[in-house]
């Protein structure tokens, strides 16, 4: 099969990248430099952090201090804008739309967008990421969107100066919540772990990290019913699920650790394989999926690390794997 060099109507794209976080933009940069003329379908802006955001979860991160090359830190949106500009510089074409349906039974593959366009592609990289599960409170969403001290990633944000020597809260009771809370105890004056039950569901070893840490304090049988503060969080309103009593807990940071959901709903029924957590299953040390010519990168296929730098690395892998696959199949 031979790809058209034109991008006109009816042309078959060599490479389509779905998504626009670190994984997606890195795949575009590597794909463009390999003369694959990638087309990026990046999603559409959302009004809250629950849907997939163009630019990924970094669009909700006010300061990134752990990505190499930015010694003084960089805001998440600024970093993604730089990634985008670099991808565009090498010829990536960008479509502001969601992919709503994929047909991987045909070759070339067929993708349908929310704008009613049908896109055909020889190779596809899926880099749609994963979204944090939020409580869903209006003030929680508002402060998360505005950098007001609500976050879904302690490893990403917990070391920022604004949280140091401050009382912080983590919501959750699983292994992730224990990891987040344990990490925060390195910087906070106190870490409250708010859980709706009277015991954690994390592994015993992970529970011990919190229960034996003098800087951590469980808050049992409680749920957050409101996040307090105008421009920056000043506390959380708690409700005891047993007594229904409401109390205010003063904190200067709230970290939501109730899981993530990979952005794969549009891929259901396509024949793609997923792991037990719902993330795209990859071949060992590869970005290849079970469908020949379909690759995945970043948080949509990574339930473990979920960091910008690991997502970028996976985007690099996917572009190189796709380039080699296309060459093997005569697409130049």
Q: Which residues are catalytic?
A: 153, 156-157
Torsional class of 167: left (φ above 0), alpha (ψ -120 to 50), beta (otherwise): beta
Rounded Cα distance between 121 and 296, Å, is 15
Rounded Cα distance between 129 and 25, Å, is 12
Rounded Cα distance between 62 and 144, Å, is 9
Rounded Cα distance between 308 and 315, Å, is 10
Can you give 6-20 as a three-state secondary structure string?
CCCCCCEEEEEEECC
Supply the DSSP symbol for 265. G
Rounded Cα distance between 15 and 50, Å, is 28
Nearest to 61 by CA among 133, 184, 134, 150: 150
| Residue 101, SS3 per DSSP | strand
């Amino acid at each position: 099969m031979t790809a058209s060099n034109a991008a006109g109507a009816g042309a078959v794209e060599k490479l389509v990248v779905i998504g626009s976080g670190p994984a997606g933009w890195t795949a575009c940069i590597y794909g463009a430099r390999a003369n694959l003329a990638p087309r990026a379908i990046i999603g559409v802006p959302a009004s809250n952090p629950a849907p997939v955001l163009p630019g990924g979860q970094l669009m909700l991160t006010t300061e990134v201090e752990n990505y190499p090359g930015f010694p003084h830190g960089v805001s998440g949106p600024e970093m993604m804008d730089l990634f985008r500009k670099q991808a565009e510089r090498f010829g990536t074409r960008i479509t502001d739309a969601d992919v709503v349906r994929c047909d991987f039974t045909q070759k070339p593959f067929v993708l349908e967008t929310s704008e009613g366009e049908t896109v055909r592609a020889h190779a596809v990289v899926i880099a749609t990421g994963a979204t944090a599960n939020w409580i869903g409170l209006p003030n929680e969403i508002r402060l998360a969107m505005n950098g007001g001290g609500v976050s879904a990633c302690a490893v990403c944000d917990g070391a920022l100066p604004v949280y140091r020597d401050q009382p912080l809260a983590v919501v959750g009771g699983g292994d992730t919540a224990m990891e987040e809370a344990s990490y925060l105890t390195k910087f906070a004056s106190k870490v409250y772990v708010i859980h709706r039950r009277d015991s954690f569901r994390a592994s015993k070893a992970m529970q011990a990290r919190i229960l034996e840490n003098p800087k951590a304090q469980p808050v049992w049988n409680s749920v957050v019913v409101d996040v307090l503060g105008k421009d920056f969080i000043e506390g959380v309103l708690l409700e005891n699920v047993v007594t229904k009593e409401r109390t205010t807990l003063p904190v200067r940071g709230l970290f939501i650790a109730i899981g993530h959901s990979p952005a794969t709903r549009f891929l259901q029924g396509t024949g793609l394989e997923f792991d037990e957590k719902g993330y795209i299953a990859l071949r060992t040390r590869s970005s290849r999926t079970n469908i020949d010519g379909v690759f995945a990168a970043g948080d949509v296929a990574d339930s473990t690390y979920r960091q910008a730098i690991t997502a970028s690395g996976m985007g690099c892998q996917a572009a190189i794997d796709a380039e080699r696959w296309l060459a093997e199949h005569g697409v130049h």
